[in-house]
A = this chain, B = another copy of it.
Amino acid sequence: MTNRTYTVVFQPSGLRGKVKDGATILEASIKLGAGIESVCGGKGTCGKCQVRIEEGYFAKYGISSSIASVKNTGEANQKFISKRQLKQGYRLSCQTRIYGDVVIFVPEKSRKGQQVIRKEITVRNIRLKPAVRKYPVELKPATLHDPIGDYERLQAELTRKYKLRNLSIDYPVLMKLQNTVRQSNWQVSVSVWNGKEIIDAAPNKTDKTYGLAVDIGTTTVAGYLCDLTNGDVLATASMMNPQVAYGEDVMSRIGYATKSKDGLKQMNRVIIKGLNEVAGEAASKAGIRRTEIIDMTVVGNTCMHHLFLNIDPQYLGKTPFSPSVHHSLDIKARDLGLRLAPGSYVHVLPIEAGFVGADNVGVLIAEEPYNQDEMLLIIDIGTNGELILGNRQKLLSTSCATGPAFEGAEIRHGMRAAPGAIEKVKIDPKTKEVQFRVIGSESWNTEVKNIGARGICGSGIFDVAAQMFLAGIIDKSGRFNMRIKSPRLRQSGKEQEFVIARAKETAINQDIVVCQRDIRAIQLAKGAMYSGAKMMMKRLDTKKIDRVILAGAFGSYIDKESAAVIGLFPDCAMENVIAVGNAAGDGACMALLDMRKRKKADIHAREVEYVELTVEPDFNTAFTKALNFPHAEDAFPHLKHLLPSN
């Protein structure tokens, strides 16, 4: 061991820190709080602490990672990890030492305690009409007097028994048809896509069919494995979008694709690889093989959509921001590199305009504003914010660059929603004392000793801003009120800061604070959302909003009162502000289970009118006014009981 130190980053949590030359990965995990499981305590006998060394240059961390940065100790690696997986970079944390900068992926099974999946979906009342149906048939064996081809024999029986006519057959299915039919003694199950094409023929074992709905977020990818015969969600799998290594947000990915040779190819490759992993993980949880997944739907914002399809996103990033295609697409999974059932199709939902992508269409078919009389505002909070306003008369949409502040980035002590993140904050208006709760613990900091806070995640940031404003620590304009006497409020160099967690309450041995710049970042993000909503209200000539729907996984975790207090959206009765979870994912599931939803998506994606905020003449004024908490001018009658009465 030398005195050198190396940078270690754990994924998907994003935790990073320095470790000494020769430290084991498990030691690094303990030091940085990455939470790698270890039953045997580092003896190399339980095999629970498997991680994967990530290869490549990780622009976001400023480090290059490779398998060569680590060395194995002893033979336990060979014992628990297959040759193929060793090649892929899998190692036991306790038996592998660090001799260089390295990025380490911690698979879910190796993570301590429950993982925080922030992309759960809501199972709703879904009418079933999946794209793929399975039909059991029994064929009469061929004879010299009836030697017609197997495909024609199958077609005739499908017509006779199920009135299915003029089906085409996917070429790989045709290739194997004769052997399949004969090996299963002329009894086969035929999977038909969209009433048009035979995409699978298999021995007649089960009538179950499985599909995967996928929501490709800028930050998180989530897959929902559904039983297409009853609509059950059998398993959920999620991972950090591996493209994060090439840029945190949409614009930086577009930049990477444009500037870097093979940038598009790289980002496409990692997301396809990632989706294969998500599909594999979901299948494994549900106890099926990945190749039993026979249908798939995909939603994602326009940039994720393009990168998934290996389409150059450069034109999305420059005026007039036109996409390659709006229509929904049905593409063979194999043509995309996805390893599902060989004949399966992937249905990519349509996109609306600019950055209002297929994820927003997912929200649209999940929430059905086109069927409502109420004036609805749907806010999808992600790395990119998308808004829909309207009702059955007319629908508008827009997108605003909220930046990643809501996800904990660009905030001094911001972090992702991972164990150790402060997710709830209360500030006593009188004493200015702080209570907080971290992910991974069910109690507030006042109740237990060792909290181990590591930073503040998005929902915590909403609370911090709202509570600081309500406690008068910041004013309407976001400025710190330094006249307040509190040991937590202090000047640090040129910056003012407010202490949320004291060093002893943290796992990082330093105070976790919020500074003036953090408040500014929150103001910019919420101001963009608010002013977007206002511009649309003006277009629709409406003064009031009947209902606010907070979509996006994130929307479920934020405190809706905090969101209202900081002015994320115009005035609305609190009981009508509803968090619906990952509505984009819900929409993907609905489209997976019900062809009518795909049709609705095609129709309404075209009908929604896109508002390009940057060309609206009074947007800048509206934006400036919306920077205030909750707004410079607007009245909030429904928040009277909450807001300070100045």
Contacts of A127-159 to chain B: CB distance below 8 A: 142-152
Chain B residues, CB < 8 A from A148? 322, 326
Q: Known A324-B149, A325-B150, A327-B152; judge A144-B615 contact (CB<8 A).
A: yes
Q: A150-B324, A151-B327 are in contact. Are A174 and B144 (CB under 8 A)?
A: no
Q: Is the CB of A320 within 8 A of B615?
A: no
Output the residue of A143, A147, A179, A351 with the most chain B CB within 10 A: A147
Q: With an 8 A cutoff between CB atoms, is A162 at the interface?
A: no
Q: Please report the C-alpha to C-alpha distance between residue A312 and residue B176 in the assembled complex, in whole angstroms.
A: 8
- Contact residue among B150, B311, B322, B335 (Cβ-Cβ distance under 8 Å from A322): B150
Whether a CB of chain B sits under 8 angstroms from the CB of A353 is yes
- Whether the Cβ atoms of B175 and A311 lie closer than 8 Å is yes
Tell whether, in the assembled complex, residue B142 and residue A178 are in contact, meaning their CB atoms are under 8 Å apart: no
Bound together, the chains give a CA A150 to CA B336 distance in angstroms of 21
Per-residue CB contact flags for chain A residues 326-354 toward chain B (1 = under 8 Å, else 0) read 11010110011000000000000001011
- Which residues does chain B contribute within 8 Å of A331, judged by CB atoms? 171
Check A178–B147 contact: CB distance below 8 A.
Answer: no
With known contacts A175-B309, A311-B178, A142–B322 Cβ distance under 8 A? yes
Contact between chains at A335 and B171 (CB < 8 Å)? yes
B175, B326, B332: the one contacting A149 at CB < 8 Å is B326
The answer to whether A142 and B320 touch across the interface, beta carbons within 8 angstroms, is yes
Knowing A144-B319, A335-B171, A615-B144, the reply to whether A325 touches B149 (Cβ < 8 A) is yes
Closest CB in chain B relative to A166 CB, distance in Å: 10
Partner of A151 from the list B151, B324, B612 (CB cut-off 8 Å) is B324
Size class of A's contact patch? 35 or more
Q: Chain B CB within 10 Å — which of A149, A150, A311 has the most?
A: A149
Cβ of B320 and Cβ of A144 under 8 Å apart?
yes
CB of A326 to closest CB in B, whole Å: 4
Identify the interface centre among A148, A171, A319, A612: most chain B CB within 10 Å of its CB.
A171
Bound together, the chains give a CA A179 to CA B310 distance in angstroms of 13
Asked if residues B319 and A179 are in contact (CB atoms below 8 Å), the reply is no
Residues of chain A from 173 to 187 with CB closer than 8 A to chain B in the complex: 174-175, 177-179, 182
A419: interface (CB < 8 Å): no
Looking at the assembled complex, report how far the CB atom of A538 sits from the nearest CB atom of chain B, in whole angstroms. Answer: 19
A353-B147, A615-B144 known; A177+B324 contact, CB < 8 A:
yes
Chain B residue contacts of A152, Cβ below 8 A: 325-327
**A351 cross-chain contacts in B, Cβ below 8 A:** 149
Whole-angstrom distance between the Cβ of A110 and the nearest chain B Cβ: 36
Residue in contact with A309 in the complex, picked from B174, B332, B615, CB distance below 8 Å? B174
Report how far A323 CA is from B108 CA in the complex, Å: 49
Q: Which residues of B contact A146 (CB under 8 A)?
A: 320
**CB within 8 Å for A143 and B323 given contacts A178-B311, A329-B174:** no
Question: Are B151 and A326 in contact, with the CB atoms below 8 A?
Answer: yes
State how many angstroms separate the Cβ of A573 from the closest Cβ of chain B.
Answer: 36
Distance in Å: Cβ of A42 to nearest Cβ of chain B: 48
B354/A322 in contact, CB under 8 A: no
Q: Please indicate which of the listed interface residues A310, A311, A353, A612 has the most CB atoms of chain B within 10 Å of its own CB.
A: A311
Most buried by B among A151, A324, A332: A324
A149 and B311 contact, CB distance less than 8 A: no
Complex CA–CA separation, A324 to B182 (angstroms): 11
Distance, CA A177 to CA B311, complexed state (A): 9
User: What residues of chain B lie closer than 8 Å to A172, measured between beta carbons?
Assistant: 335
Within 8 A of B (CB), among A295-334: 309-312, 314-315, 319-327, 329, 331-332
What residues on B are CB-neighbors of A175 within 8 Å?
309-311
Q: How far is the CA of A309 from the CA of B151 in the complex (A)?
A: 14
Provided the pairs A322-B142, A329-B174, A612-B144 are in contact, do residues A312 and B179 lie with their beta carbons within 8 angstroms?
Answer: yes
Most buried by B among A151, A325, A331: A325
Within 8 Å by CB of A324, from B178, B315, B336, lies: B178
In whole angstroms, how far apart are the Cα atoms of A304 and B314 in the complex? 47
Docked-complex contact A323 and B149, CB < 8 angstroms: yes
Q: A150 to B327, alpha carbons, bound, how many Å?
A: 11
Q: Which residues of B contact A174 (CB under 8 A)?
A: 309, 311, 324-325, 329
Task: Tell me the minimal C-beta distance from A35 to chain B in angstroms.
Answer: 40
Tell me the bound Cα distance from A55 to B331 in angstroms. Answer: 38
Across the interface, A325 reaches (CB within 8 A) one of B151, B332, B615, namely B151
Q: How far is the CA of A72 from the CA of B179 in the complex (A)?
A: 47
Q: Assuming A152-B327, A169-B325, A171-B335, what are 15 further A-B pairs, CB within 8 angstroms?
A: A144-B321, A144-B615, A147-B321, A147-B353, A149-B325, A150-B322, A150-B324, A151-B327, A171-B329, A174-B309, A174-B325, A175-B309, A178-B311, A178-B315, A179-B312
- A interface residues with partner B (beta carbon < 8 Å): 142-152, 169, 171-172, 174-175, 177-179, 182, 309-312, 314-315, 319-327, 329, 331-332, 335-336, 351, 353-354, 612, 615
| In the A-B complex, the 10 residue pairs with the closest CB atoms | A151-B325, A147-B320, A142-B322, A144-B320, A147-B322, A149-B326, A149-B323, A171-B331, A178-B324, A149-B325
**17 A/B residue pairs, CB under 8 Å, sorted by A:** A145-B320, A147-B322, A147-B354, A148-B326, A149-B324, A149-B325, A149-B326, A149-B351, A152-B326, A169-B325, A171-B332, A171-B335, A174-B311, A174-B324, A175-B310, A177-B324, A177-B325
